[in-house]
Amino acid sequence: MECNSHSHRQSNGLAEDFVSKEGIGYAKTVLLALCLLVLLVACQGRGEREFSGARAYEHVVAQVAFGPRPVGSEALQHTGEYITSYLKGQGWRTWEELTYFHNTPVRSILAQKEAPVPDALPLLMLGAHYDTRPYADRDPDPANRLQPILGANDGASGAAVLLELARVYDPAQSRANVVLAFFDGEDKGNIDGWPFSVGADAVAERRAARLSAMILVEMVGDDEKQFYFEGSSDRALMREIWAIASQLGYSQWFIPQMGYSITDDHTPFLGRGVPAVDIIDFDYPYWHTLEDTADKVSAPSLERVGRVLVEYLYSK
């Protein structure tokens, strides 16, 4: 994402892409993430269907276990396999929206619940990106700025919320026919000639005409988070979501005042006439640094965001 009201992002002119880790150590991280996936599915509560921040946090840990996950990397490919495997295990049909940029495959993952949903319901997309920044270009130590980031909050947190929502979502209670979107190619913007939101733009080009609305969850795991209105987002949809947060007792974290104006994965949808909202905490001190690690992510923060989304989907 790119902030329009402050010049937070600048091109660093780097010419090399991240090279995926290889060897025994990397194989162990893949095995760990797959084991977490098996446990999440096997230990799923049979009767308890409320959104769980603890479960969402396990998805953060699983993604981070693959290591840095920039567009085009082997680690991101494994992360995509993790996401699709979990979604299928929860009864979702998945497919890939593939595009190419600079000869690099950009693979966004979309999913819809297999259970029948009335065609008359509006089509709503819930999105997050699952790739990570290839360079820690905002790290306070210049020596670290050529290193790739783990992206526990910037990338993994939003995807984790969608994965946990996939477990609890009940189409019979829903106000909309939900499409989950895990966007690739968001976080290489201003590097090697890449813009931001390559995957989201490709999805919007193909899908926007059918959508009634789009909600993006971005950097939602910080324990000190505060979600202000994002300046380019649809005002009516934003007010509705923040009002639900207030009803749930979350007004301390969802503040109905204008904050940053940000170019993000909701932007291509806004540009095609879709009401879209970016739920984002942009005041995250570890953004694009090596310190964006799993210990910076809070399960209660993930839970609050997830429960707001669930309540929005079920409110009539």
CA distance 250 to 53: 15
Q: Count of CB atoms within 10 A of residue 119's CB?
A: 7
Is the whole-model pTM more than 0.75?
yes
Question: How large is the average pLDDT for residues 102-117?
Answer: 91
Contact between 240 and 312 under an 8 Å Cβ cutoff? The reply is yes
Half-sphere exposure of 245 (CA within 13 A, CB side): 24
Contact between 313 and 175 under an 8 Å Cβ cutoff? The reply is yes
CA distance 229 to 80: 30
CA distance 269 to 213: 9
Domains of the chain: 2-7+18-314 (3.40.630.10)
Tell me the Cα Rg of the chain.
Answer: 18
Query: In this structure, what token pair is assigned to residue 110?
Result: 């979309």
**pLDDT tens digit sequence for 224-265:** 889 999 999 999 999 999 999 999 999 999 999 999 999 999
Report CA torsion sign: 290, 8, 278, 268: negative
**269 three-state secondary structure:** helix
**pLDDT tens digit sequence for 192-218:** 999 999 999 999 999 999 999 999 999
The label of the residue with tokens 């619940």 reads: 113
